Structure 1
Amino acid sequence: MADSSVESASFATQANALLRKNLIFQKRNLKTNIGLVTFPFLLCILLFLIQTLVDNELDKASNKCGCICVDRNGDGTCETVCGIEYSDLDQVGTCPIPSPSEWPALLQVPAPEYRAVRTDSNAFPDLPNESCRSTGSCPATILFTGGNRSLGQSLAGSFFSSDFPPNTSDVLNTFANIISGSDTYTGFTNFLEPAFISRQPMYTVQPQCAPNSTFFVPIQIASVTIRQEVRCVQGVNLWRDSSSVVNEELYNGYRQANVRTREINEILAAYDFLDTNENNFNVNVWYNSTYSNASANSASALVRAPRSLNMVSNAYLRFLRNSATQILLDYVKEMPKPGTKLTLDFSSLLGALFFTWVVFQLFPVILTSLVYEKQRNLRIMMKMHGLGDGPYWLISYAYFLVLSIVYMLCFVIFGSVIGLTFFTLNSYSIQFLFYFIYVNLQIALAFLLATMFSNVKTATVVGQVCVFGSGLLGAYLFQPFLNDATFARGWIVVMELFPGFSLYRGLYEFAQYSLEGNNMGTDGMRWKNLSDGKNGMRTILIIMFVEWLLVLPVAYYLDQVVSSGSGVKKSPLFFLQNLKKKHLPVLQQKLSFRRQTSKVFVQMEKPDVLQEREKVEQLLLESNTGHAVICNNLKKVYPGRDGNPEKLAVRGLSLALPRGECFGMLGPNGAGKTSFISMMTGLTMPSSGTAYVQGLDIQNDMDRIYTNMGVCPQHDLLWEVLTGREHLLFYGRLKNLKGAALTQAVEESLKSVNLFHGGVGDKQAGKYSGGMKRRLSVAISLIGDPKVVYMDEPSTGLDPASRNNLWTVLKRAKKGRAIILTTHSMEEAEFLCDRLGIFVDGAFQCIGNPNELKGRYGGSYVFTMTTASNQEQEVEKLVHRLSPSAKRIYHISGTQKFELPKQEVRIADVFQAVEKAKSMFTIYAWGLADTTLEDVFIKVARSAQSFNTFS
């Protein structure tokens, strides 16, 4: 069989054509694109306005270091003096502190409701009963273990002094001589001890507590003196057999480990004396850091550990010397600090969640754009005119990448210009790398999901759910695990395999570094920080990069093997096949033909249809033929759904179409014409059989067939914002037209379909009438001299003048090419088609030129006469005298139609009989007509449908 010799457009030419079309398309959608790119700008402005409002509120005098007016010279001149001594408790945090206060060292004492008691999971008999929690009388427990139990008990027994109530005149000395503590949260600095400004009571740990053992201590903070309540709590020392038992008990009572069961048993402190003796002091100390872990920045929070060390050190000194020997821990003190400003970095505080939504917002835009092209069959339309998958993927990916990069650049630049520390403090190179890798992954994911959708609305909903779901899951599921130091880091990495969590983690790291940098006056994230074990940026960069490399080829593979609007799906192992297959040898074609024709039709085929089948069989045995299209036993069966049986749409169609011929397919709605066209144009795969177009098999070489094929679909597939000329330029380039040849072909195409004059060709297709769109679709199908053209009802919606002009164009276009045309217009079929096939219930009922069909199925005249109703019998007698076999086919109110077999009647006899009848009764009208093509079509269709119903 002959192969096509027409050179197809190269990869670069196809890519250039699609790029030019896309650039024009995006230019026409400039407002939409500007809106998309400025979307992050508007969000940054919103953040800026909120940040400004917050800063203005925080900049009020009540939030600044306190000031007074002082007349230093006595001349009435007022000089403003600010300082911590003039400030209240809400202002002191912003004051300079050249000489910080001396704060007593405290223990982290468990709150009364969390002190250790006997529970189901912690059933040590030496712990108090749970009933003490209701009265608030539970003791504070200290655990100890070691190699020498008696020594350990001796040391633990001297932890607490019994000096109660102490002297309250000297605050530091008071707290240095007693074991005191608090259940308040610790801070990030020690300029102000939270225990003294929390308005909550403190505790002193004693061996025993007398009733009403509460006292008050005056505490001076800046210019304010407060009375701090101090309550006595009993301290209990309990021995455990090993450090592993201590570890288990501490973990079982840990607040976050037992948040579900609420069996919280907090321990004051724990000690392992190891091999301590008179000559060796060796001890491990567990301190209570429960409350410091409640903060997201717990790694930076202070812990109250110095007093725990002081307790055990004094106990050992008393063991070596005497009970009066001790090391006095008077106070702890912070480094001096300058004056600060109360700030709240709103952008960093909301950064992870808010910016996840901003960045992820591009995902549904890309996804719906890809699905839209499939739903509207625009992609398959481009593919049928020669656009390969490679250029389509390259240009589409490049466009979305450029759009994403511009979007992210605007996002970062806008945020930086208005001064959001989320952007300004973190390294721009790290930000660029992070966003670049992520947007590539996001585009690959959009291509992957696009293969699974064929409806834009569904894709839009899923895309938006992904956007908001990822942000909310990141904030309320992923981040709590991220902040939990006890949660396995390996599982964090597993969760980050979900791209939404990878994005959230990266933005979370940026937010934390900018928040800390803003609070501490330091830089944000730098490259050196990526080596920090607590920084997850390096891990997610690797994860996203690897996922991108994996998702992109998987998306391309699924696009080829999943049929969802991009054409016939390929075999799952298509990549193992040769890209350019050689045609089967003649012997293999014979064998293939025998396999395909092994099934015998139950329905008897007509002689002309059988003759066409035999012609196809003979052509398949020839090595070279001039036929453009050869269909061999082509079948299409749609599977049954929802309890309905399977639908046999095309029943073993065989057809041979030479070059230069226009073949018309006539048939009622639902006959299978569209299914046949869909198989020939690559929209669906044949259930069995095959077809050869220009010597290429539609099952294996559809991509090569597309380069020599033109299609005018039943519904116009056009871009509303492109002009008629731009459509033709795009499809002309796909047909490998260039330069002057392209310009000339476009001009001639516009003129041929009457779209050239008056600037009509330069108007956007969305402004065309239905007829103008139809003419443009015909012009597109003929651009580039395709060798095979499929036209599905090309003249639908055209006015008579335009229709006649279009017929003239198609008549000329037959030269050198094969045209398959479907129509419901008998006049069109008779004018354009060299041969016709009447297609009913999935099969040809007859094939031949119009005159042959009229002669074969129309061997009668149609005689029509209108008379008075009471003279109808006279008319019948007249007709039967002319033709005894005549049949009445129509009768209404005096008007009758009869079929007169041609062999029984002469036209001259009819005229003579009518002239004679006029003298006998009144004849209002009469006529004699030969059989039309419409009569043939109706007769064949009815006969076939009656046969199929009966069978």
Structure 2
Amino acid sequence: MADHGQASFWTQANALLRKNLTYQRKHIWTNVRLVLVPLFLCLLLLSIQLLLEAVMNKVLDMAKCGSKDAPNGDYCPIPNPPLLPPMLHIPEPESRAVKAGLFPYSDLPDLSCRKTKTCPVTMLLTGNNQSLGKALSGTMFGGSFAVNTSDLLPSLADNVLGTTLGAGMDSFRDPGITSGLPIYSIQPQCNANSTWPLSLGKTRTEVKCVQGLCLWRNSSAEINKEIFKGSWRGTPERMTNEIAAAYDLLSTDGKNLDVNIWYNATYYSGGPQNKPLVRVPRLISLVSNAYLKFLKGPGTKILFEFVKEVPKNSTKSNSDIASLFGPLFFTWVVLLLFPVIVTSLVYEKQERLRIIMKMHGLGDGPYWLISYAYFLTISVLYILSLVSFGSVIGLNYFRLNSYSVQFVFYFIYLNLQIAIAFLVSTMFSKVKTVTEKWIIVLELFPGFSLFRGLHEFAQAAFHGNGVKWGDLSESGMDKVFYIMLVEWFVTLTVAYFVDQVLTSGKSPCLFTKKSTTSLPDPSVESQSSDNVLIDMEKADVTHEAETNQREKVELMRIEGSTGHAIVCDNLKKVYPGRDGNPPKIAVRGMYLDVPSGECFGMLGPNGAGKTSFINMMTGLLKPTSGTALVQGWDICKDMNKVYTSMGVCPQHDLLWETLTGREHLLFYGRLKNIKGPALKQAVEESLKSVSLFDGGVADKPAGKYSGGMKRRLSVAISFIGNPKVVYMDEPSTGLDPASRKNLWTVIQRAKQDTAIILTTHSMEEAEFLCDRLGIFVDGGLQCIGNPRELKGRYGGSYVFTMTTSSEHEEIVERLVQNISPNAKKVYHLSGTQKFEIPKQEVMISDLFLMVESAKSKFTVFAWGLADTTLEDVFFKVATSAQASLS
């Protein structure tokens, strides 16, 4: 196959786009359901609105505005709110402050007043000028109760009125007046049973006299302590002892009124947030009026006549529930996209699809561009559906606000949300973690900018105006736009940076660290190595018998590596120690060269370090020290360039379950810059080479392939586009014997212009495919050579086996020792013995003569003679290496 060169940015983007479109076409109904979600949610909101409107209309129909059953102004218009006399809040008679228990003040009234319900209403004063305070307290309350029924409000203003009831939810009515309970006239002294009838509109009640008592305290801290203790509710000895109010006159003098007021807001219906200040104006009026009398004499007064709420329209005139609940509801609706995006990104990471695409030449730029554009397209369609459906069914939330303002707002936010999704996806490695744990928390935390914008849309729609471009500055929406744009840019930049550090394995200083093309000094690297090939000084590498492997690699680094696709120079990987364990050396300074056209096999027991070596060569791990050149590119600096000439067949098949075998090869073929008819031809040849072309297999989803078919597809993917270097991790795992032999033929044919590094546990596969073998033990290559050379060097023995009766075992052993004094018995069980006999000590004819001699003396049940196998060589090298290192 011809070399098509490196695929351009747009060629890679086109390949990924086509793959994504194919993938999404197979999931079209999932996307349709996602886009239709806003329709169902808008219909749900509309149903709720219609239901609530029906309930509200039924209530209003039962109580017409203006009738006696009207709901007290909650729904009806109030163009002229009533004038309400200002009143103080005073404690219940049984709760007023007395001298008892924790309250030993001598100026408080005796506890006995509670039995007669005549306890005074106590107010406390403090400040820097006690004489001034006492002067003010003497004129704080009015005289005897008197009103002019023809001019009621001004005459009521001359009296200090109090109530034990808190204010209502609004000031269109006052429970202290409308309840019919007594109103209190607070006076310096009261005569016994002083009561007066009073008519306020349709309400008839009575006014009772209650003494107002102003007491001096030495400091505000003392007052604070007394009020705090007075709120205790418990035993009779620790009863409630409530103070009506308190004043701190601070630095008040004849030229300056400086005052702080304590007031109790806990009695208001629904908590202190509901009209807490309705009763406070009278407290201000009392001290102001007393101060004015102190300055100007008793004939001067401030008349506080009434309080009045502002007029209001009928609530029924606008029952737009969608606009009222829109910010919270639609925040949740838009955020439904967030877990979809994050899950999709994490899935590619979990299944290692992102890294396998990268290994076959897909750059970060095309990946980010196409993925971002796809998520943005889905998000825009989702929002367009939301706004369209909401407008069609008549929700003012969408119809009244300018569509262009809404589009710009949503578009900016969607970009911000996608950027955040990319950033968040770097924190997860498994979809299950995202969907079951963290995504719930993320959904419950709506974006503040989104909520603020939706709130402005809702408020404008509720009041019947809607948001237009000219309203942005006044409503603050312009700041929301600016904030989201800045957040989007910053988040996307950070997400890309984190992705490069965590996923690509680059340095955290990738934006500041100046790149360099200089390579490490081989002499320095060689001095830092702590391991060379075992017996390297003895030239134990048969293929390089005349020269030291290290010296050869270093010479290649100095003179250039022409003709060698892979050159490893003191490549080392050390995992840091954890939990008190020492550091683990996975690869011990490897020196290796693999020329083009050679298949190099790596054999070794599990845990030897083969996977760590492959992961460094494919960019999954950064070397601790040393480096490797692939086609002249340094894996520590130019991994993205290495990917363009590399193919990978991983140990586990990394495939999209819904894409067919043909679609997989089309995608990876485009990444290798194959186009037009050449692409179609290359895909068909690849499918035929791995027996996936006939019978419609090529067009079946990979999820329906058997394990062997998936394996063959992974091999085909690794060779598509004629890569210069291919890494194959146990490629024939799971294949039947016929498929395995067919696959070996494919690999042999493909390696003509390709350097292949292959790991396997099959000695038959290694012997059939590999031009050279390296046995890898405890992080280092123990030997290198072709299978015949290794068997000749490490397998210089015949394996002789003989089975006799137990009483003849010693005779057999003596016969073997006679012809080979260095023979070694390696197996013995119930008359069966196995010996390793050095080849240089015997001739095969001698062994046959020995067997004939034995048969003439006793019965020989079975015997055999075998040459050393590659498996024997592997076992011998591995065990001897492990023993020497232990």
Q: What is the TM-score when the length of structure 2 is the normalising length?
A: 0.82
Cross-structure match for 1:71? none
Q: C-alpha separation between the residues in 2 aligned to 1:464 and 1:747?
A: 43
Q: CA deviation at 1:302?
A: 8.5
Q: Distance between the aligned counterparts of 2:291 and 2:564, measured in 1?
A: 107
Task: Give the CA deviation at 1:217.
Answer: 4.0
Residues 602, 198 of structure 1: alpha-carbon distance in 2 compared, 3 angstrom cutoff: farther
Distance 1:110 1:347, change over 3 A: farther
Distance 2:300 2:531 in 1: 115
Which residue number in structure 2 is paired with residue 744 of structure 1? Answer: 681
Answering whether residue 92 of structure 2 is matched by residue 110 of structure 1, we say: no
Cα distance in 1 for residues equivalent to 2:384 and 2:180: 49
Cα deviation digits, residues 575-609 of structure 1 (max 9, x gap): 23566x5455xxx7455555555x56596435234
- Find the aligned partners of 1:204 and 1:306 in 2 and give their Cα distance: 13
Question: Pairwise mapping of residues 330-729 of structure 1 onto structure 2 (< 5 A)?
Answer: 341=316, 346-347=321-322, 350-419=325-394, 422-423=397-398, 428-460=403-435, 463-467=438-442, 470=445, 500-510=447-457, 513=459, 518=462, 522-523=464-465, 530-532=472-474, 537-562=477-502, 566-567=503-504, 569-577=505-513, 582=517, 584=519, 589-591=521-523, 593-596=525-528, 599=530, 604-605=535-536, 607-609=539-541, 611-623=548-560, 625-729=562-666
* Deviations, residues 853-901 of structure 1 (Å, cap 9, x unaligned): 1111122222233344444444434444544433332232333322232
Residue 238 of structure 1 and its aligned partner are, at CA, apart by 10
Shift of 1:8: 1.8
Which amino acid is 2:506 matched to? K
Question: 1:821, 1:740 → 2: CA distance?
Answer: 31
Distance 1:416 1:130 in 2: 71
Residues 752 and 644 from structure 1, CA distance in 2 versus in 1: closer, same or farther, beyond 3 angstroms? same
1:164 to 131, 141, 145: 145
Paired position in structure 2 for 1:852: 789
Q: Distance in 2 between matches of 1:228 and 1:842?
A: 99
Task: Give the Cα separation in 2 of the matches to 1:267 and 1:132.
Answer: 24
1:937 to 857, 874, 883: 874
- Residues 618-627 or 678-687, more deviating: 618-627
Q: Which amino acid aligns with 2:418?
A: I
Distance in 1 between the 2:264 and 2:464 partners?
26
Q: Report the CA distance shift for 1:304/1:918 in structure 2 as closer, same or farther (over 3 A).
A: closer
Match runs of 1:838-917 below 5 Å: 838-915=775-852, 917=854
Contact 2:332 2:443 (8 Å CA) reproduced = yes
- Classify the secondary structure of the residue corresponding to 2:607: coil
SS at match of 2:559: coil
- Residue in structure 2 matched with residue 21 of structure 1 by the alignment: 19
Aligned position for 2:238:
none
Displacement, 1:423? 4.7
- Partner Cα separation in structure 2 for residue 23 and residue 215 of structure 1: 87
User: Does 2:714 match 1:780?
Assistant: no
Q: Distance in 2 between matches of 1:871 and 1:392?
A: 74
Give how far 1:689 is off: 1.2
Cα offsets for 1:758-780 (capped at 9, x unmatched): 11111111111111111111111
Q: How does 1:87-102 map to 2 (within 5 A)?
A: 87-90=68-71, 93-94=74-75, 100=80
Q: Structure 1 residue 757: deviation in Å? A: 1.0
CA contact (8 A) 1:385 1:735 kept: yes
> Contact 1:253–1:263 (CA<8 Å) still a contact in 2?
no
Report SS of the residue matched to 1:750: helix
Matched, 1:64 2:43: no
Compare 344-353 and 654-663 and name the one that shifted more. Answer: 344-353
CA–CA distance in 2 between the matches of 1:330 and 1:652? 93
Q: 1:48 to 1:195 in 2, by over 3 A?
A: farther
Q: Which of 153, 167, 182 is the equivalent residue of 1:185?
A: 167
Letter in 2 for 1:841: D
Q: Please state how far the C-alpha of 1:308 moved relative to its aligned partner.
A: 8.0
1:815 corresponds to which letter in structure 2?
Q
Q: Determine if contact 1:184/1:198 at 8 Å carries over to the other structure.
A: no
Query: Shift of residue 418 of structure 1?
Result: 4.7
Which amino acid counterpart does residue 439 of structure 2 have in structure 1? Q
Match of 2:49 in 1: 51
Cα-to-partner distance string for 1:410-439 (whole Å, 9 max, x where unaligned): 444444555555555555555444443333
**Other structure's SS at 2:511 match:** helix
1:442-471 CA deviation, whole Å, 9 max, x = no partner? 332332233333344444455335335536
Residue type at the aligned position of 2:60 = N
Q: Structure 2 CA distance, aligned partners of 1:151 and 1:894?
A: 121
The range that moved more, 134-143 or 761-770, is 134-143
C-alpha displacement of 1:317: 12
Opposite residue 767 of structure 1, the aligned amino acid is: K
- CA, structure 1 residues 583+330, in 2 after alignment: closer, same or farther (shift >3 Å)? closer
Post-superposition CA distance 1:349-389 (Å, at most 9, x none): 55555544444343343333333322332221111111112
Q: Which residue number corresponds to residue 474 of structure 1?
A: none
**2:852, 2:132 → 1: CA distance?**
145
**Is the 8 Å Cα contact of residues 126 and 238 (structure 1) preserved in structure 2?**
no
The answer (yes or no) to whether the contact 1:627–1:658 under 8 Å persists in 2 is yes
Alignment: residue pair count: 859
Partners in 2 of 1:189 and 1:379 — Cα distance? 64
Q: Give the residue type in structure 1 aligned to 2:639.
A: M
Distance of aligned partners of 1:31 and 1:880 in 2 relative to their CA distance in 1, 3 Å threshold:
same
In structure 2, relative to structure 1, the CA distance for the partners of 1:719 and 1:313 (3 Å cut) is same
Post-superposition Cα deviations, 1:32-79, rounded to whole Å, max 9, x if no partner, equal 43444444544444444443333333232x43364xxxxxxxxxxxxx
The answer for unaligned runs of 5 or more in structure 2 is 233-240, 542-546
Contact kept? 1:862, 1:930, Cα under 8 Å: yes
SS at match of 2:782: strand
Q: Percent identity of the aligned residues?
A: 54
* Distance 1:503-1:332 versus aligned 2 partners, 3 A rule: closer
Q: Distance in 2 between matches of 1:151 and 1:824?
A: 99
- CA distance change for structure 1 residues 345 and 326 in 2, over 3 Å: closer, same or farther? same
Please tell me the residue identity of whatever aligns with 1:64: D
Aligned mates of 1:218, 1:425 — CA distance in 2: 49
Letter in structure 2 aligned against 1:390: G
Q: Any stretches of 5+ residues in structure 1 without a counterpart?
A: 67-81, 472-499
CA change 1:239–1:375 in 2 (3 A) is: same
When normalised by structure 1's length, the TM-score is 0.77
Mapped to 1, the partners of 2:92 and 2:470 lie a distance apart of 44
Mapping for residues 3-22 of structure 1, pairs under 5 Å: 7-22=5-20
Q: 2 CA distance for matches of 1:734 and 1:203? A: 89
Distance (whole Å) between structure 2 residues aligned to residue 326 and residue 786 of structure 1? 97
SS of the counterpart of 1:710?
strand
- Contact 1:287 1:305 (C-alpha < 8 Å) held by counterparts: no
Range with bigger deviation, 166-175 or 388-397:
166-175
Structure 1 window deviating more from structure 2 (778-787 vs 266-275): it is: 266-275
**1:787 shift after superposition:** 0.3
1:478 alignment partner in structure 2: none
